[in-house]
Structure 1
């Protein structure tokens, strides 16, 4: 079910609406490659930069750390500068730092530039639900399907193509080319947003006070944050390490990248379907249960026999990771206004990503300590239980503004 339309709405003509949709699509496409292009090339990056075990673990953790630290500030920054300006600035920062990081060979500078690039993506990432609510308040499910699908396509292509791009010149794999290609797509995405910043001139500065601290006093806010965090923990642990797991199981670097592409590619059709279904349902619990049931199949199957059925286990894990577009859709469905959406998105994603940071870093530490992936995978499997419990609460038909009003 779609929330009642907000009074805080931008009235666009047909051309403007098409430009907004285009801007949202190209922005979403570029939100994940900065992180997902690293995993398939991790061995080459570690040799070329170089990076030790700790730095490699930190690199795979940077996306969620950055999204946690920067995401919470994005709604406040947008209230000062405007939603569309912040999105544009995020893309400029993303494109510039992605290109620059491909030119350096100092570990600390590579990590700093990675963090800066991800900061641009994080700010835009948190504001996506607000942009949808502002321009398309009656079509939250449909527009979330559009941009989450675009996000899934960017994630899949960067996972599967980074290694082939890096080896396209012949000879040794050039990780700088594999990483730098995604700076080009981010630069192209800047173009429609130059035409969209005029929207902020008409909106003016927002003076209302609803913020993430208010959301932190609600049960729904915490249920959303924990569900989002545990799902992101799963996803980023897989994005950061699954390709390396496959390489350690005997797959080549290119095949391991393709298998990671299977994980991410599974979410492309589901990212289109799930938000539309969720937007039409009053109760999304059965959808949540069906998706989470795929995690045990994929994890246990990979542990038992990673070859030759690696593609099947990758597909099952990918379907489980498609819980992400469901939780993302709930941010818009559990709020009535663009302001409420911004506040809920800011708290959900900043607190959630802070929790998720434990995932990729912890998987790397456990593997370094044990020399095997078994314990890490079993812990990821166990964390599906609290994810299910928090998700069941968040999928009930309720609104964050109602919980805030009840507390007041």
Structure 2
């Protein structure tokens, strides 16, 4: 009689491979959704204002809400992850994102604001926990997986910016056009739910499944040089990114460009990160390369902002490409966070600190740009402010990489 010669180890290997593949697909699906809801709202901001008739204050508040939600909800992410486990926390987060985007289908200002708060609060948890998940499940490939995540994120942002206006036209209203983006969020929820129930035979529960047993206070990290500089850089790059992605279509429309064309220019700015992120991360290997990468992306942002201030309609695509290169500061600082600390608990603490306080700083950017534009009737003062914050980002990047091992 034939005997079964398969050992437990050999039987578990394909299951572990499948579990690893499912984890990678789930993480990339989450990354895809990190900017869809925001980029589509930015492209449709003028159409939403015309359709719903909300005030200039609401118009300035809408691009600001994501950063406020990221700061408020992100601060409690570590505690939630320790209580229920990082995987279940992420599942709750993508479910909240799906629900929030769906609520925005209601053609009313309250639904737009409430759906944005709910959805962006879900995104806040995903933002904070993504570096921890990458470090936990792909410890030997942090740079590669971070690059894949940020590339997927850029693909999602580009897609939403480019097609949000046409999609809204097809479905008949900007509110329904926003709600369409709940579908990819629902897909991420389903796949992540499947991932939380899958574990290879014989494999112990991961730290993300058990929750973080070790507790490290994010506020203790704030007293370290690394914590302070990472938080400062993260906040400045997020301020610049959300201010420009939130208002670039309106800036270009104000200078005579059509809404559809302005959305395409924003898509170009976000698409640049797709091929460039891996090159920037490859450059960032070693202390000298890391400093060079930080300087290049921050200087590109500064130059792009200068072009948008001085001659926005002369070469809008060139300015968009430079701004897009500047947006690669996000994968750089995300990689620094994921590779810092002695384990997932310290990574979560640093991520919580930098993202909660960083996004609180970032929230002032879109709001200040909107209020300055409303007060002055032009874009000179808002872009002058962003030039100053881009210069501060460059200085923070240089300080962060000084003497870094």
Distance of 1:319 and 1:363 partners within structure 2: 21
- The equivalent residue for 2:5 is none
Cα gap change, 1:220/1:181 in structure 2, threshold over 3 Å: closer, same or farther?
Answer: same
TM-score, normalised to structure 2, is 0.90
1:305-335 deviations in Å (ceiling 9; x for gaps): 2224211111111111221111111111222
Residues 289-300 of structure 1 correspond to what in structure 2 (within 5 A)?
289-300=295-306
Distance of 1:103 and 1:286 partners within structure 2: 47
Cα gap change, 1:371/1:339 in structure 2, threshold over 3 Å: closer, same or farther?
Answer: same
2:354 is the counterpart of 1:354: no
Q: Compute the displacement of 1:205 (Å).
A: 4.2
* Greater mean deviation of Cα atoms: 250-259 or 313-322: 313-322
- The equivalent residue for 2:18 is 15
Question: Secondary structure, in 3 states, of the residue corresponding to 1:254?
Answer: helix
1:27-84 deviations in Å (ceiling 9; x for gaps): 0000111111111111121122332111111111001110011111112111111111
Distance of 2:28 and 2:211 partners within structure 1: 26
Cα gap change, 1:206/1:312 in structure 2, threshold over 3 Å: closer, same or farther?
Answer: closer
- The equivalent residue for 1:164 is 166
2:75 is the counterpart of 1:72: yes
* Conservation of the 8 A alpha-carbon contact between 1:334 and 1:398: no
Aligned equivalent of 2:38, options 35, 38, 50: 35
Aligned equivalent of 2:66, options 63, 67, 71: 63
Question: Secondary structure, in 3 states, of the residue corresponding to 2:196?
Answer: coil
Give the gaps of 5 or more residues in structure 2.
1-14
1:81-112 deviations in Å (ceiling 9; x for gaps): 1111111111111111201111241x233212
| Aligned-residue CA RMSD (Å) | 1.8
* Conservation of the 8 A alpha-carbon contact between 2:309 and 2:384: no
Question: Secondary structure, in 3 states, of the residue corresponding to 2:20?
Answer: helix
TM-score, normalised to structure 1, is 0.90
Distance of 1:139 and 1:162 partners within structure 2: 34
Q: Compute the displacement of 1:199 (Å).
A: 6.6
1:166-189 deviations in Å (ceiling 9; x for gaps): 1225xxx62023211210111111
- The equivalent residue for 2:154 is 152
2:94 is the counterpart of 1:91: yes
Distance of 1:231 and 1:113 partners within structure 2: 25
State the aligned residue count.
383
Q: Compute the displacement of 1:397 (Å).
A: 6.0
Distance of 1:47 and 1:24 partners within structure 2: 37
Distance of 2:214 and 2:24 partners within structure 1: 27
Distance of 1:71 and 1:14 partners within structure 2: 32
- The equivalent residue for 2:7 is none
* Conservation of the 8 A alpha-carbon contact between 2:308 and 2:383: no
Structure whose alpha-carbon radius of gyration is higher: 2
* Greater mean deviation of Cα atoms: 146-155 or 186-195: 186-195
Distance of 2:157 and 2:359 partners within structure 1: 18
